[in-house]
Amino acid sequence: MDYRIEHDSMGEVRVPADRYWGAQTQRSVDNFPIGAGIETMPKEIISAFGLLKAAAAEANRELVPEKMTEEKCAVITQAAREVAGGKLDAHFPLVVWQTGSGTQSNMNANEVIAARANELAGQKLCHPNDDVNMSQSSNDTFPTAMHIAAVLALERGLLPAIEELIRALLELEERSRGIVKSGRTHLQDAVPIAFSQEVSGWRASLEQDCRLLRAGMEPLRELALGGTAVGTGLNAPRGFDTLAAERLSALAETSFVAAENKFHALTSRDELVFAHGAVKALAADLMKIANDVRWLASGPRCGLGEIRIPENEPGSSIMPGKVNPTQCEQATMVAVQVMGNDAAVGFAASQGNFELNVFLPVIAYNFLQSARLLTESVRSFTERCVCGIQPIRERMEENLHRSLMLVTALNPYIGYENAARVAKKAYAENLSLRDACVALGYLAAERFDEVFHPEQMV
């Protein structure tokens, strides 16, 4: 491999000749061989850095034109847009397990953008620190990148995926109207419910999750950018924070604002904890829905067998013809991972010391993994399972009429305790509720038939 010599404030470093990064990035590559090539900084963070560096250059051009010349601004913003678009991902090798402030990833962005900008300019025009990092610090840019990445992951990925699942459930509701089945509580038989009502519960849970996620996104729109090193805004021109947020909003095509209190914005990660709580709430509901689906589809002959789900692949290497609820299983595993990530986000966010939290990369990694996994999981679950659910009406009717909890309909006529005696006699002697009730003398057969209508109990 060919190398070139780069230097920073600590001296000279050998860097691969075909990479845009410089000395500080290379020092991080050399000093943190932890999860290399696997647990690298999330692409969403890299893209967010591209957006914020372009916005910062545009703001600096307006506020300090003597330093951010038109020529510098043009090539920096072009290079930064390439970073935002993922064109330069190969030049971002750093791992999550680095400095807790994310300084080395900020410098990775500065060095790559400066090198690419100089290439575009055809001369050594831009310096990573003096130009690309102008009016900024790692301490305000990395928290800003985290907020940008989180908002875009939720707004462009997770929320649309949930909305697709909601539409699929609405369609299933409509197809299932008129089907009445046995309800279940505590994994025991309960009073009847329409299958469309059961599905509506799933759908309404997801609609609530969407509302929670949108509420969680709003505080993330407040950005630390402009606080620089400790929140005072040292070396940033007056108005930089507001103007940079405006330019960033235009570039990202969504709304961002400058955080009012930069001392809070640099040291506290409560906004990400709050938003990830909404992500965890979605994971909890997805766990419940996927479990309901696989219980209802259990069988095909020795389980509940009330719905049929798509048969996507063989389920056993030894049992011929076996098919498993694999989409439900991937969804529940993802939910477990997200719940674990929530614990990591919460613990890391509690580690703000004085003017800075130094657990930023691990928060970003876990938050974005949760959003990405759930987005992909929900889309797969929707397409490969929910859209193909078929209610088995005959099995639902059979289970409904075998349920002893239908006796609840008799409470107004014979009382709770007598109804309990009917249920217990029917269970002990393997009788129908009708036969047990008549045998105990509580109702005549004709009267029982008048008042006992399971399909009307919903």
Q: Is 453 a catalytic residue?
A: no
**Could you count the other beta carbons within 10 Å of the beta carbon of residue 11?**
8
Hey, which bits of 320-436 come out as E strands? 352-353, 356-357, 390-391
Catalytic residue among 186, 196, 370, 380: 186
Q: How far apart are CA 238 and CA 63, in angstroms?
A: 8
Task: Mark 228-265 as b/e (b = at least 16 C-beta within 10 Å).
Answer: bbbbebeebbeebbebbbbbbbebbeeebebbeebebb
134: left (phi over 0), alpha (psi -120 to 50) or beta: beta
Q: How far apart are CA 410 and CA 140, in angstroms?
A: 67
DSSP 3-state of 356:
strand
DSSP 3-state of 403:
coil
Paired residues of 307 in beta bridges: 391
How do strand 222-223 and strand 257-258 relate by DSSP bridges?
A: parallel
- Determine phi and psi for 175, rounding to 5 degrees: -70, -20
Q: How far apart are CA 269 and CA 267, in angstroms?
A: 7
Q: Is 316 a catalytic residue?
A: yes
Catalytic residue among 316, 370, 377, 432: 316
Helix (H) or strand (E) holding 183: strand 180-185
Half-sphere exposure of 443 (CA within 13 A, CB side): 25
- Determine phi and psi for 12, rounding to 5 degrees: -95, 150
Q: What is the DSSP letter of 145?
A: H
Q: How far apart are CA 51 and CA 151, in angstroms?
A: 13
Radius of gyration for the alpha carbons in the chain, expressed in angstroms and rounded: 30
Q: How far apart are CA 367 and CA 385, in angstroms?
A: 26
Query: How far is it between the farthest Cα atoms of the chain?
Result: 101
Angstrom CA distances, 258 to 56, 129, 158, 278, stand at 13, 22, 25, 23
Angstrom CA distances, 352 to 229, 237, 257, stand at 15, 27, 23
Q: Cite the active site residues.
A: 186, 316
